[in-house]
Amino acid sequence: MKTPYKNIYKILKLNRFIVLAVVICSLLSSSFSLLMVYNMNKTTLNSVFAINTDGSIIPLKLVTQKENFRVEALAHLELFHTYFYNIDASNYERNLEKALWLGNSSVDNLYRQKKADGVYNRLLQYSLVQKVLSIDSKISENNGEYTFTTTTIFEINRGSIIDTYELVSTGNLIMVDRNFPNNPHGLLITNYFENTLRKIDYESRKE
């Protein structure tokens, strides 16, 4: 007896169903895998892990990019104002050279102006000591542009006389490549300007 052949259309229909089922399962599996990878990546970006002394894993939240920038900016401004204004006859050349790495031509122009006015010659001639007492910086952002206002309190020791001054300076901050140790924070001061300088009583101010 001859075996009857199955209907070719039924066979093709069954094959098409199987192929479609496999394709749909593959798509669902791929979509699920992509979703899991995306969620893992998002979680990883928001968290880092540290190993405790006992071997346990401690999750730590990463600070936002703006918070990172603020910390770097405040440290950069403090470093610059310390180098530029905390000077005496023995260290002024070295400190000013370091300060010039942290700003653009606006800082260099101010340095040249002070030099032409004899500021550093008087420092040498009278053995003056200019010491920074405090640095307070405020940073603001407007459409991606960062500006700062820094209040620097410093004293000038003339031997028997010590005078204290308050300097308010302003400028902008832009991001550049890090250059350790010359520019460790990867920032550059631009449009730097000394706005006001006045003599104060620092002890009364602290109270």
* b/e map 177-205, b = 16+ CB within 10 Å: eeeeeebebebbbbebeeeeeeeeebeee
**Using one digit for the tens of pLDDT, what is the confidence trace for 67-114?**
788 999 999 999 999 999 999 999 999 999 999 999 999 999 999 999
* Selection from 8-17, 32-41, 172-181, 196-205 with the highest mean pLDDT: 172-181
Within a domain: 127: yes
Q: Tell me: do 100 and 75 sit in the same domain.
A: yes
Residue 50 lies in a domain: no
Compute the distance between CA of residue 207 and CA of residue 115 in angstroms, rounded to an integer: 36
In a domain, 11, yes or no: yes
Q: Is 186 found in the same domain as 123? A: yes
Query: CB-based contacts of 92: which residues, under 8 Å, 6+ apart?
Result: 120, 123
Checking if the pLDDT of 48 tops 70, the result is: no
Using a cut of 0.95, tell me whether the model's pTM lies above it. no
In this structure, the answer to whether residues 171 and 107 fall within a common structural domain is yes
**Could you list the residue range(s) of the whole structural domain that residue 145 is in?**
58-198
Express as a percent the part of the chain with pLDDT over 90. 59
134 burial level (CB within 10 Å; 0-12, 13-18, 19+): middle
Contact 173, 76 (CB under 8 A): yes
* Stretch 55-65: mean pLDDT: 52
Same domain, 112 and 170: yes
Give the model's confidence band at 191: pLDDT under 50 very low, under 70 low, under 90 confident, else very high.
Answer: very high
Question: Which stretch of 42-46, 60-64, 189-193 has the lowest confidence by average pLDDT?
Answer: 60-64
pLDDT tens-digit readout, 107-162? 999 999 999 999 999 999 999 999 999 999 999 999 889 999 999 999 999 988 99
Per the structure block, which two tokens stand in for 41?
Answer: 């990546």
List phi, psi (to 5°) of 157: -95, 115
Q: What is the CATH number of the domain that holds 150?
A: 3.10.450.230
Are residues 89 and 18 located together in one domain of the fold?
A: no
Mean pLDDT along residues 169-189: 95
One domain for residues 164 and 110: yes
If DSSP codes are grouped into helix, strand and coil, which group holds residue 26?
A: helix
- Asked whether residue 1 is domain-assigned, the answer is no
Instruction: Note whether 163 and 86 are same-domain residues.
Output: yes
The proportion of the chain whose per-residue pLDDT surpasses 70, expressed as a percent, equals: 80
Whether 37 and 67 share a structural domain: no
Same domain for 66 and 138, yes or no, is yes
Burial of residue 29 (CB within 10 Å: 0-12, 13-18, 19+) is exposed
Q: What is the DSSP letter of 55?
A: S
Say whether both 151 and 183 belong to one domain: yes
Indicate the number of domains in the chain.
2
**Rg of the chain taking only CA atoms, in angstroms:** 33
Task: Tell whether 123 is covered by a domain.
Answer: yes
The values of phi and psi at residue 163, to 5°, are: -110, 145
Beta bridge partners of 171: 148
Looking at every residue in the chain, the average pLDDT score rounds to 85
Same domain, residue pair 94 and 125: yes
Query: Which pLDDT band, with edges at 50, 70 and 90, does 63 fall under?
Result: very low
186 and 115 belong to one structural domain:
yes
